[in-house]
Structure 1
Amino acid sequence: MELLTVTFASLFAGFVDAIVGGGGLILVPALFSVYPTATPATLFGTNKGGAIWGTAWATYQFSRKVDMRWAALLPAAGAALVGSFAGAWAVTLISANGLRKALPIVLLAVLVYTLLRKDLGRQHAPRFSGRAEAAVAGALGAVIGFYDGFFGPGTGSFFVFAFVRLLGYDFLNASASAKLLNTATNASAIALFAFKGHVWWHIAAAMAVANVAGSLLGTRLALKHGAGFVRGVFILVVSALIAKTGWDALKL
């Protein structure tokens, strides 16, 4: 029954994650609820071990239908991987409590800006090209990748918003691009957790199958309904993140 519960949660998480990110908002609490005596590192590692497959599959599915700007995205994915490693190392040295308290405010600013700019992310009009685009995308990958390794909640949403706001992508292309970078940061985290022995591979394997199934459905819906649909889901996910992280901050 425990495995069935987390597998279903992984299915739903894969669905949400494929559209706009934020699957961890569903899967991590489910793991903590089902396995309350497990160490947090093991649950985080198991979450990554299952979720990376849905994210990678979504990247592949998007790449078949969306014009991915590989010249900028591949260096950005490399930067995100390195940034995630650096963030994971940094969290062993300093506390993330200050960031935990500030996160709801940052997410609220993202939500308000998105709601006020009703045309934001509806048209795909990249602002940069060539080396300039690669440099900006790489900087985003490094900074948000560091955040993912250091703390994590809302990483996918931050990637999407950054690609929309700073690079001029529409929400569909931003979501597709975010999946590639999220796959890189997840791979970095898995390497660290696996090295420390903090992944339950038998549970992660079942979650991975369900996560890919959810990802397949989410990707198809995003591709079918386009940027406007992804924008709507983005608003819902960020709102849920504000509620969750705000509650967590109040408990500190």
Structure 2
Amino acid sequence: MSDATGNKRNGQGVVDKVAAILMAFSFDDPELDLREISQRVGLNKSTTCRILRKLMQYRFIEQDPATGLYRLGIRLFELGNLVADNLKLGEVARPYLEALTERVGETSHFAVLSGDRIVHLVRIESQQAIRVVPSRLGERYPFHCLSVGKAIVAFLPEEERKALLARAEFEKFTNRTITSRTAFEKELEKIRRCGYALDNEEFIEGIRCVGAPVRGYKGRVIGGISVAGPAMRLTSERIAEVIPFVMETAAEISRCFAKDQAEVPEKKLQEAARR
């Protein structure tokens, strides 16, 4: 039932309205007029028009000047390509992670930094009888208490790293979580010296991890890998044995990514030369 403003969903927020408008389009109906969009999302025309105009400013929506019909904008295509690129990164990393898990006997991950959160794109499960690593693909995790998060952030460009740390909250998850920027920056300095990062039960009690950065074209950090397992198996002695395998695997994936990404600008130069 509509209310006085034409909103069918009581308490509907701005994000809900924007999402509803974007999802009103489909393969069957790639272009819609204002009345059709308004009816599909349950908003009055003035509200729908106002949101459409704002979405057009950010290129999420386009309007055909000849017909007046609305359609999804090029910015969504660009964002979709970012998702596709991330998924491709994960698929490239997968065989290397499978080999790593086989070698060390623990669960391995490939992850990227998305905004101020870590997102796991690949997870290769250990075949150990006891597996207590609760990571989920696509879930967003804090960077400051994960080995892979620390490894990525440590090697970000300085300005990018400073901006990220300036807005970080450093939430406490266990008694071992680093909860201040000063202490975290000292941790990052240590990681830059040794090339790897540790999570010593800093996110979940009883779970330890070893992480290393993965680099792409021109050495830029594009993600990271980690090995995680129960603290009773990943003892200090065992971690010392695992570290070289993690760093070696990260280097192998980095070489693969660097080669793939270097070929893209080279192909563009070749195409330009042929014109």
Is TM > 0.5 for Structure 1 vs Structure 2?
no
Larger radius of gyration: 2
Question: Quick check: which one's strand share is greater?
Answer: 2
**TM-score when normalising by structure 2:** 0.28
**TM-score when normalising by structure 1:** 0.30
